[in-house]
């Protein structure tokens, strides 16, 4: 089944991981591990300020009355968490589906990333580990009422395998995949029931769920 993910660029205009640290109420979060470089080749520890954490939690300001409403909150909050992480790491360079940069890019520290470099780029291992970190931090903070974070989803094919973050609906036990690998940095993740995600033929790019970017 093909679905669409709304563009996330309006968040960028409006508001200019592998390790699970404990969230302290009213404070920021230290020691968040962010993976990139394909296969978590590079790991960077970042700190999120209290103001940035508030930007994530604001999506849950109105308690969700239904699991459907909460999944929409989770989708937006997880997408924004990735944007925050991109302020401190090169993952803001990431292109969906393992695409590489087309030309060299100069980073804030003055170094240059070549178009064929994996710095800042994320495969499904990086994406799924980071997403699980984001989801776990939100879950630990008590932001979820209808779901819990569970182990990463894994899909195997004849030639490869694919990983993604995953949540479980408490009332029904239904599992839902939160997958940011399909799209470029700054776009909402794909969130769909795990059985639908398992049916996506990953070998054929025309079958991937499309964003509105």
For residue range 8-17, what is the model confidence (pLDDT) as tens digits?
A: 443 443 333 3
In which domain, by residue range, is 112 found?
4-211
pLDDT band at 104 (very low <50, low <70, confident <90, very high): confident
Residue 10's Cβ-count burial label (10 Å; 0-12, 13-18, 19+) is exposed
Express each pLDDT in 66-96 by its tens digit: 999 999 999 999 999 999 999 999 999 999 9
What is the separation of C-alpha 38 from the centre of its chain, rounded to a whole number of angstroms? 15
> What is the number of structural domains in the chain?
1
Inform me whether the pLDDT recorded for 2 exceeds 70. Answer: no
Q: Say which residue, 115 or 198, is predicted with more confidence.
A: 198
Q: Which two tokens stand for residue 162?
A: 């694919």
pTM for the structure as a whole:
0.81
Distances (CA, A) of 21 to 66, 155, 179: 28, 28, 22
């Amino acid at each position: 089944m093909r679905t669409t993910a709304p563009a996330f660029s309006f968040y960028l205009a409006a508001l200019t991981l592998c390790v699970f640290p404990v969230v302290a109420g009213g404070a920021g979060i230290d020691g968040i591990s962010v993976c990139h470089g394909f296969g978590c080749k590079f790991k960077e520890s970042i700190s999120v300020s209290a103001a940035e954490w508030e930007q994530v939690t604001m999506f849950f300001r109105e308690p969700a009355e239904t699991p459907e409403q909460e999944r929409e909150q989770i989708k937006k909050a997880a997408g924004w968490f990735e944007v925050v992480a991109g302020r401190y790491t090169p993952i803001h360079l990431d292109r969906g589906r393992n695409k590489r940069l087309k030309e060299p890019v100069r980073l804030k520290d003055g170094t240059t990333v070549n178009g064929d470099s994996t710095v800042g780029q994320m495969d499904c291992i990086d994406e799924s580990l980071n997403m699980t970190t984001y989801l776990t931090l939100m879950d630990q903070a008590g932001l979820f009422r209808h779901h819990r974070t569970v182990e990463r989803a894994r899909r195997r094919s004849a030639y490869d395998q694919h990983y993604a973050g995953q949540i479980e609906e408490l009332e029904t036990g239904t599992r839902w995949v939160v997958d940011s690998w399909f799209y470029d940095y700054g776009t909402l993740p794909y969130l769909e029931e795990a059985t639908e995600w398992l049916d996506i033929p990953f070998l054929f790019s025309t079958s991937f769920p499309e964003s509105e970017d």
